[in-house]
Structure 1
């Protein structure tokens, strides 16, 4: 029950804090906040649920949405493009390593006629029977001669006659200009609202997905145009989240919180899994419509429940606000100094992280983009299995990240490991471990089980990024972490469009294990060398050009003036046992 704003002076008690023009008084049993919107009672959440826990959950879902829009085309294109069905290979089966024999050895009495149908059928996702496809194999039942995967591939053969090079352009186009909005995104988040930048970036990119079926039916270049625009819009999301973390999360809790970024892997996993089912049920366009719907639901929750700063949160508990104030300091600056671009661009540690992330992203983007095509063309897996078994590694990556980050934060709080050693240890797991496992993929030959196991493990160990270089960006400069991440991502997106082009050229009209071995060995070398450089030369110490402790300055981190050690009460709440 809210007290009358006209009788606020009658509330007994003393003012205990002041923020953004609001004066809070502690009465007998409740705290009342008076401000421009009037008087109201502060609601305290359950003891196990902090406001920053809600932020973590919705950030996790937001990154899942962000990656869903990146990768949904990777599996949908398998159903969109001609040439993956058994009959197109005549004497071959679907995969290079599978033996053709039982399936359609004699095609002399097989006739297929197909009409792609109207534009409406393409846009609405009508299945292959809606495209007036007719199949006759003498008088014999088709199902008796084809296994389910082959039947599925046959009836769902793609509409678009794009070769490997054109497919590489389509898959890589998202990243062509993705870099261009990284730094603007960090600047906008710093100057205005990281909540708004992150939310609208995700929502806008996903809503553009509804145009993909129409664009693909026009020409592959029209599809490229849509994907380029999606990449531009989505590029602002990641730097904005680093700004929120610097405002909301104490230093010794950041490894665990940054694991929210691994929602990207969960998003990829669910996208691969659900897309395979949607393609089978409703046709490939349903993948893009589902992405847009999920983004709209997430944005509604994000807009209602997330706030740019703890002091602006209407439902944060008094104890949590006090703990955050004690560990992070207070945003007292009115004018924000100019970003020290000269120091940032000449900092060896900044460029070391950029290079490290570049190598790691090359490995992740290659596996993320090419795994469905590799498993389909080499090992002969159907779309359903491709969706399931390329989604599994990303689930493992998320779980691995949560474990490593929790252990890492506990080691920091107990003083058993310095922050620099923790970041380096995580990089060994993330980069050197991933490089070794990619060598395993290269050497797997025609063993689909071995390839799947190595891919799963390679993606899983990359979850240590949240405890390694990704968290180190905030360590180096809490005040400018958003801009540092923007600079890193601006350069690190280049593997996103270079890798598909490289793979397209290496495997052009040569879908063989030998050619794919070259692909994975090149990627393993790039990943491993970047990890070695980080282990040898990195540090997690705050850089001298970042505002020193105690200076009342709110930089790119969005209001982090000084970072102190988290209160013991706050550490105990997060758990370190």
Structure 2
């Protein structure tokens, strides 16, 4: 569950005008929309991370097929960072466009284009070298920059208040699950006779099929759907206070940009992305060059921490909600406790990981599981704090913090490229993990001391005394 996940509910503070009983059918059109978006995050994250494993096979012999190309590239970390060159560009604008025009066709078009460049990546690698791969990945990143702001907007119209936690978690859990599956499948395919090019074809086709399905079955709002029942439409719109027909509040840009809790979320998000993407892009190379795992076992072991992250994300979110509902801890305290678990525990594990070598493989794997798995607690920390401090503008806040924080997603692999000149040198990896650990600690410190769980006064700026825009 990618760091973009769970920041939902731009209209989440609006109360239902009337209580309407949920439709008796266990599967409605809203569930189709949710499942489509789950598949989107699953495929998008698969595309995002498959190169982290495939690049090992692209630069070292992994397949018995002599026709599979192998490249002599010494800029692997730069290649891995290229996705974020495009990804950071459309974030804030994508949310505003989705709000104005609706997210459906933005999702269809951007995922289709992203998939086309995935299909072209093997050809671009052979004809243009690493520059071709970087161009393809940057364009894929730009397309995926539209995904999470658009999903956020779509779910805010489709998911009833009483179902938001369950359905929202299901959608965004597609990210970490997609990471797990992509790493494993990429390793298996890369070691097969068909080699690494096949994995890009597989995900390219999956993305195109999804785009077609979304074009046919997807809708921006319940009122635009041609297949929804009147009963279900009434249930959703009543739950949301008929919010789909209400004029959005103007964005209080000055208040947002001068808000200390917003800056606390931003700093935490930046620290999270540095550590998360250092690991997700570099673990396969670390496992290959330092721990000397073969590509197939490498992919399984690289995926294991993210499977644990996926499982623990549900555990931590359940515990956090329980503490809040039972009022054992305040909302703000809960966010800070779980944020600390999600950043401090991994920071400690990373320090020890830097001292591991091939003789301590099992311990290194255990530390990676701890570093990545416990990081899932942030989904109950800063990652949902946008909704806490401003339910009306949480989408905009997500666009801002996701845009800026992904600059750090870009910089982290570039830092590794500069520091790790010899991938077999454990001392250089110690510096990589040590810096990530320090950034985790500092960013959490800022969030704990400057963050808040209270709705900010500027949340309702733009409403008159009668509550109208």
Q: After TM superposition, is the score higher than 0.5?
A: yes
Q: 2:424 aligns with which of 495, 511, 528?
A: 511
CA drift of 1:305 comes to 4.2
Which protein has the bigger helix share? 2
Gaps of 5+ in 2: 1-21
> Does the alignment pair 1:418 with 2:334?
no
> Does the alignment pair 1:162 with 2:81?
no
User: Aligned partners of 1:485 and 1:525: how far apart in 2?
Assistant: 24
Match of 1:477 in 2: 390
Spell out, residue by residue over 1:294-317, the C-alpha distance to the aligned partner (whole angstroms, 9 max, x if none).
223333444444433344454367
Q: Residue 176 of structure 1 contacts residue 231 of structure 1 at CA under 8 Å; is this kept in 2? A: yes
User: Aligned partners of 1:533 and 1:390: how far apart in 2?
Assistant: 30
Change (3 A) 1:463 1:365: same
Match of 1:277 in 2: 188
Match of 1:289 in 2: 201
> Does the alignment pair 1:235 with 2:151?
no
Match of 2:454 in 1: 541
Q: 2:443 aligns with which of 517, 520, 530?
A: 530
Match of 1:191 in 2: 100
Q: Residue 237 of structure 2 contacts residue 244 of structure 2 at CA under 8 Å; is this kept in 1? A: no
> Does the alignment pair 1:409 with 2:310?
no
SS of aligned partner of 1:381: coil
CA drift of 1:503 comes to 1.0
Match of 2:45 in 1: 67
CA drift of 1:547 comes to 2.3
Match of 2:415 in 1: 502
> Does the alignment pair 1:444 with 2:356?
yes
Matches within 5 A, 1:317-332: 318=231, 321-322=234-235, 325-326=238-239, 328-331=240-243
**Could you say what the CA RMSD is over the residues aligned between the two structures, in angstroms?**
2.7
Which protein has the bigger strand share? 1
CA drift of 1:471 comes to 1.5
CA drift of 1:257 comes to 4.4
Larger Rg: 1
CA drift of 1:248 comes to 4.0
Q: Residue 252 of structure 1 contacts residue 409 of structure 1 at CA under 8 Å; is this kept in 2? A: no
CA drift of 1:480 comes to 2.2
Change (3 A) 1:59 1:459: farther
CA drift of 1:332 comes to 6.8
CA drift of 1:258 comes to 4.2
User: Aligned partners of 2:246 and 2:260: how far apart in 1?
Assistant: 31
CA drift of 1:211 comes to 1.1
Change (3 A) 1:196 1:365: same
Q: TM-score, normalised by structure 1?
A: 0.71
Aligned length: 441
Please say which of residues 394-403 and 419-428 is displaced more in the overlay: 419-428
Match of 1:244 in 2: 154
Change (3 A) 1:362 1:320: same
> Does the alignment pair 1:226 with 2:136?
yes
Matches within 5 A, 1:244-263: 244-249=154-159, 254-259=164-169, 260-263=171-174
Change (3 A) 1:52 1:397: farther
Q: Residue 242 of structure 1 contacts residue 485 of structure 1 at CA under 8 Å; is this kept in 2? A: no
Match of 2:119 in 1: 210
Q: 1:78 aligns with which of 52, 56, 80?
A: 56
Change (3 A) 1:518 1:307: same
Spell out, residue by residue over 1:486-525, the C-alpha distance to the aligned partner (whole angstroms, 9 max, x if none).
1111111122221112112221135221211111111011
CA drift of 1:342 comes to 1.7
Q: Residue 258 of structure 1 contacts residue 471 of structure 1 at CA under 8 Å; is this kept in 2? A: no
User: Aligned partners of 2:229 and 2:430: how far apart in 1?
Assistant: 53
Q: Residue 333 of structure 1 contacts residue 552 of structure 1 at CA under 8 Å; is this kept in 2? A: no
CA drift of 1:184 comes to 1.4
Match of 1:58 in 2: 36
Q: 1:265 aligns with which of 159, 162, 176?
A: 176
User: Aligned partners of 1:329 and 1:318: how far apart in 2?
Assistant: 15
CA drift of 1:51 comes to 5.1
CA drift of 1:536 comes to 2.2
Gaps of 5+ in 1: 1-42, 86-126, 132-155, 554-577
Change (3 A) 1:324 1:426: farther
Match of 2:211 in 1: 299
User: Aligned partners of 1:310 and 1:199: how far apart in 2?
Assistant: 18
CA drift of 1:372 comes to 0.3
> Does the alignment pair 1:174 with 2:90?
no
Q: Which has the higher contact order (CA 8 A, sep 6+)?
A: 2
Q: Residue 205 of structure 1 contacts residue 230 of structure 1 at CA under 8 Å; is this kept in 2? A: yes
Match of 2:6 in 1: none
CA drift of 1:67 comes to 1.2
Q: Residue 339 of structure 2 contacts residue 382 of structure 2 at CA under 8 Å; is this kept in 1? A: yes
Q: TM-score, normalised by structure 2?
A: 0.86
Change (3 A) 1:256 1:433: farther
> Does the alignment pair 1:362 with 2:274?
yes
Change (3 A) 1:203 1:394: farther
User: Aligned partners of 1:317 and 1:407: how far apart in 2?
Assistant: 36
Match of 1:551 in 2: 467
